[in-house]
Amino acid sequence: MPNAYISGTGFFAPPRVVTNDDLIKEYGIDTTNEWIVQRTGIEERHYADEGVATSDLAVEATRIALKNAGLEAHDLDMIVFATLSPDHCFPGSGVYLQKKLGLCEGPKAKFIPALDVRNQCSGFVYALSTATAMIKAGVYKHVLVVGAELHSHSLDLTTRGRMVSCLFGDGAGAVVLSATDEDRGVRAWKLGADGRFADKLSQPIWDISKKPFMPLDANGVGQVAPEMMWAQMDGKLVFRHAVERMVTVLMETCIEAGITGNDIDLFLFHQANLRINQYIQNEVLKLPDSKFIHNIQRFGNTTAATIPSLLHEAVESGRLKRGMKVACVAFGSGFTWGSVIIEW
């Protein structure tokens, strides 16, 4: 049975940087830099321009990952695309990425499968686990796993929406997961979900049980109430469950891999809130800063893109080296959660 290892990483964020002060000056949001930093750790984030799609961000991250893997797009056997902000309601963004990578044209056209994963903040962990299973089963040799988000176009950038809008940024991360006979790669993974809290962190946008699913005016134009259109969150409940689920799934994955938390060299926690991650690190795991890497200060919460962005930065900075054990842990809407342990 082959092992599945990450042969290349990539990350891309749109060039426009929006600081906390920019939220105040440009958008008129009644907040302060100190308030946002104290509660979230976020200092700035990146916003894409109008006309840019989630799959456009994914293309840039993918090209970097392919280059680092020493591969071409036509070497890929499958795409697994995790996002909560797809280009359209349907189809999924995986097929748009496939087309933009040039896989559908010319004499070398290769119509590889494209799978979309809708697990929000834990989407990349779910996607990576799925791709690992495909490779370990011997079905595919190279699988592209992408986490990409374009939040800025669907945020309530007013004082009314400040509790949520200050959290999110745009970006895309990608890894190429490849088969190998070497003793390395993904060692274990655990996933979970609790649908009892599905509405506690959600963006309803429409209710498909209604006829029509979106209220219409006299001209047949859809009208969406703010509470349906914008993301809603019970912050205190999310914080409590995030801590509990992330710690539990991490320990379960360590047991599955036959190691302890002390054996892990680097922890990559989903970048939803720096205070959640610091609480887990300092109050629960009691581990030093040298074992953790964060980038939420610069990018905000990029949802499915946070963990692949951390992987790319860890590799590029030299903090993640061959033979190290890395734990990727995420929690998000659903509630859903997951953990993956990789031997680099």
- Report strand pairing: 232-233 vs 266-269: unpaired
Residues 6+ apart with CB under 8 A from 209: none
- Rg (Cα) of the chain, in Å, rounded? 20
Q: Which of 3, 20, 119, 301 is catalytic?
A: 301
CATH topology identical between 3-183 and 186-199+230-343: yes
Neighbours of 342 (CB within 10 A): 25
Enter the CATH code of domain 186-199+230-343. 3.40.47.10
d(CA 243, CA 284): 9
Q: What is the pLDDT of residue 328?
A: 98
Let me know if 301 is a catalytic residue. yes
The structural domains of the chain, with segments of one domain joined by +, span 3-183, 186-199+230-343
Q: Across the chain, which distance is largest between two alpha carbons, in Å? A: 65
Can you give the pTM of this predicted structure? 0.95
How would you classify residue 263: left for phi > 0, otherwise alpha for psi between -120 and 50, otherwise beta? alpha
C-alpha closest to that of 185 among 3, 2, 1, 332? 3
* 3-183: in CATH 3.40.50.970: no
Q: Which of 3, 46, 68, 121 is catalytic?
A: 121
- C-alpha of 250 from chain center: 17
Let me know if 68 is a catalytic residue. no
Q: Which of 270, 273, 277, 312 is catalytic?
A: 270
User: Across the 344 residues of the chain, what is the mean pLDDT of every consecutive 10-residue run?
Assistant: 96 98 94 94 97 98 98 97 95 96 92 96 97 97 98 91 91 98 96 94 87 89 85 87 94 95 95 93 92 97 97 96 96 96 97
Let me know if 121 is a catalytic residue. yes
